[in-house]
Structure 1
Amino acid sequence: MQLNTEERERLVQQITRFVSNNDLLEKLNAKLNEFNPFEVLKVTHHEIRHSNVLSWLLHPKESHFMGDYFLKKIISEVLCGDVVRKNHSLQITDILVNDFHDAEVFREWRNIDLVIISKKNSFVLFIENKVHAGLASHQLEKYLETIKQTFPTMKHIVPVFLTLNSDEAPHDEYYSLSHSQILNILKLALEMYKDRMSNKIYDFIYYYIRTLEDLTMQDEQLIALCSEIYKQHKEAIDAIVKYGMVLNSSLHQAVEKLKENNNLDIIDSTQDNRFFKNDKELWFIPTFLAKNLPSLIRKWKSPFPVAYFFVREEKKLRLILEVGPIQDGQIRLQLLNEIVKHNSQLFSAKSSALTNVNGTFTRIRHSSIDITDWNDIDYLSERINDFLVNDFKYDEVNKVLMDILQNYDSSKIGQQI
């Protein structure tokens, strides 16, 4: 859309007003430039540095004065996830009542990022940590076999695939864990044990929490400040994003083009800021489905219990459909089973997910396409449209979801779940 002279001048004035004598912008700048030793040392996006910090936090006898609390909370969080085949018989209650102070933590043991061993509990947990880097072929299978062969008498082996956003592990015996989950556990742990810590230890963990908030985009103060700035200067910021961030927002622009051409009728962060969006992900829900879905009580990247999201990778675009964190585990299981069992050709989930009352999010459909040029918006929008129609069967999936929701007993879920 071309701007006439009057519109262009007005927009220039809006942008000038936005950058001149803007107290909120100065606060944002100060916030972004707050001292953080992890930022100074450039370790935010390096897996090995995160693994070093986690090794220290997970070791019960280290100087953090939390004992085995953090380790037990991480194990419990992991066991809430889903796997097809377990290598243990543990329940979460076993973790809570047992003593793990004998646990030893090893870094880069036979190329495995983290290995935690508790002989007292006949327990081994090992973590493959991937912040951004890709996963080598058969890497997870190799690590699991190494652990099994080295510790044949251990009753409980728990393999964990740690990623930024709890990506599903490409191996059905691995649990998924995210840095967001670690962040939430660490915040609680710091609050509980702050009186036992020295100032130096407290500050170190505090700065690591800030690093995780930045990495996972969960800094609540920063989010609130950005929201207020955007509210007051929406037109100027939209113009800056549109004209100055073209390359970084090509996925979003392609989706907007599909929306403008009536090829995609959805609600995303443009209409509802409760939907998550960054330069790698875009979360959304078809408009007509949103009208038949209750709102979530628990915080997620979508305000609804069922949501789609695009994931941009270097040479691929993925589309994923998930069922999210419904507060009542039984209601979540009922809805998940209703969807998956209604049409097993369109929807699928791990068998363990269909019985896990503590589940939080479950992928029920996903697919991907190759992208050769992320800068060509016309090509990208055409590619996405073709992908939705021919590969993902987007309209068919939504029709089936709509039928399920309309026939589902709405009294089970109400207005909020």
Structure 2
Amino acid sequence: MRDADVRCEWNSIDIFILSPKNRWAFIIENKVHSRQHKGQLLKYRERIIELFRVQDASDEGNLEISIGGIFLTLHKEIAEDAEYTSIRYDKICIFLKRYLDQEAYLLSPEVMTFLTHYLHILDELSGMSKERTEMENLARKLYRDHKKVLDFIIEYGAGSDFQLAVHRVLGDNVKRGDLVKVDNAQLMYWGLAKNFVSFLPSNWFDALDRTNRVWPGCENWWAGSPVIVWVEVWSVDDSARGHLKLVAEVGPISDYQLRLSFIEALKSAAHDANMDRIYFQSNATEEGRLYSKFLRENTIAVFDVHDTNEMEKKFRQLLMEFEPEIKLIADIIPQLLDYGKLKE
């Protein structure tokens, strides 16, 4: 086995072990929170057979090959291909614990540390963690003893960490239509949900009001203006990491020429000012199109979406970084005086 080669993600195979000298191959297919695809395991074996067939053609040989496989799964699932042995992670936990108890003296400190951490992760995944079980039992007891209080908090007092960050930026008692100063920017607050907050930069609002126009189709859209801005948060892979994103969108102006002029004016001004972060998709000006976002490079990484201080800081940073684009758009809006209908 000295010629054995271990590969990860070779031809989509999670772990592949190959010993050409012994004409032996081994496949480990790993499933944690997903299940096998139809024909997946058989397809992997066929790839290995084809690999040896190509090798035999070049070496003018044709010897028997041996292919083994393990279908490693978190849940109780049988491998579709009978050539694979199904093993659950809880069995790996049992084996590793016995191995570490009996053979630890053979391992270097680095390997011992790695396997100990790995075993802890498997315990959590497979539900065999004693610490997790104790925490769950404690949580159940707390809920039984304080059910009314906890239900009240969940229904009335549960605000997301993002919402807390927004209140730090905009104030605790801000109401729809209020003007709020945030560092160098002034915003007209519109609404707050669990994962996003909407507003208009006040210079946009003032410019739109000075045009003295109605915006047909936008009467019931956000603040009734033809454009809106919001900041949203989302997590990455259900982890603490995530992003904040500043979004600006032209809305459902039913007058096609008015909507077209709005978008073309923004595109032209952004081009002249060399502001390539204002960018519309090619289909934004198609007739019948209702919503068109137009900012890019507009996300900022958040290390921990549960860290209110970090999200407050990143929220302010996004607004500050896009100050030039916000000002440019405010300057462009008055150019729409020749379009649309005057307010009555």
The two structures share one fold, judged by TM-score above 0.5: no
Q: What TM-score do the two structures reach when normalised by structure 1?
A: 0.36
Q: What TM-score do the two structures reach when normalised by structure 2?
A: 0.43
